[in-house]
Amino acid sequence: MAINKVGKIGRINTNANKILKELFEYNEIYRCELCQSIFFLHPHHRHKRLWYRGKPELLSTYNQAVLLCAKCHDEAERNKEYSKKIFLRLRGEEIDNDKKSE
């Protein structure tokens, strides 16, 4: 089976995840920010990935992501209102200069 090449969007996502990993380490965040689990940690973004198209640099900003375990990440992905509450509690309101220009 052939392995597909990583495209432009895949490279942007990979690069953003590397930057976020460094930001979380800099801020000494090594656990799920909700349940404190240390297993299967993933960045969860304030918006769906499509929202960041045209502004890929926002994918790697601290205000736009929280570190969650797989369980908490799945819950936040399935429930938009829950995700909003998470960001409001952990990162506050969205800063205007982070908002995508329409």
Banded pLDDT at 4 (limits 50, 70, 90): confident
Q: Which residues pair with 43 in a beta bridge?
A: 67
CB neighbours of 12 closer than 8 A, spacing ≥ 6? 56, 59
**Are 76 and 68 a contacting pair, CB within 8 Å?**
yes
Does residue 102 surpass a pLDDT of 60? no
Q: Is residue 101 part of a domain?
A: no
Q: Is residue 74 part of a domain?
A: yes
**Are 74 and 44 a contacting pair, CB within 8 Å?**
no
Q: What is the pLDDT of residue 44?
A: 96
Banded pLDDT at 100 (limits 50, 70, 90): very low
Q: Is residue 100 part of a domain?
A: no
Q: Where in the sequence is the domain holding 43, given as residue range(s)?
A: 8-95
Q: Is residue 102 part of a domain?
A: no
Q: What is the pLDDT of residue 43?
A: 95
Q: Is residue 80 part of a domain?
A: yes
Q: Is residue 28 part of a domain?
A: yes
Count the domains in the chain.
1
Tens of pLDDT, residue by residue over 20-77, are 999 999 999 999 999 999 999 999 999 998 899 888 899 999 999 999 999 999 999 9
